[in-house]
Amino acid sequence: MQQIKSFGVLQTAKVMGVVDFFLGVLVAIGFMLRFASRYGLHHHPRVLVFFLFVPILYGVGGFVLTAFLCAIYNWVARRIGGIAIELAP
């Protein structure tokens, strides 16, 4: 068994921020399709603003939350040890 001693906070947060941005794109598309099927897009120009805002919110939120959680993990892992994993040869 090997242990994850620490995570690179900034690098991990950057990766998760990008992943969460794309998740936000998918969520925004889902909401837009649902909204468009009920009301039509031409009646609400705010839908475009929503489509732009949600992925950015997801990306920034994912970055900040991941950085915070990685810092906590690194602090805890120094005191009690990291997560144990078994790697295939």
- 86 phi, psi to nearest 5 deg: -110, 125
Question: What's the predicted TM-score (pTM) here?
Answer: 0.81
Task: Give per-residue pLDDT as tens, 51-66.
Answer: 889 999 999 999 999 9
Task: Give per-residue pLDDT as tens, 40-49.
Answer: 666 666 777 7
Tokens of 47: 């839908």
- Is the Cβ–Cβ distance between 4 and 70 less than 8 Å? no
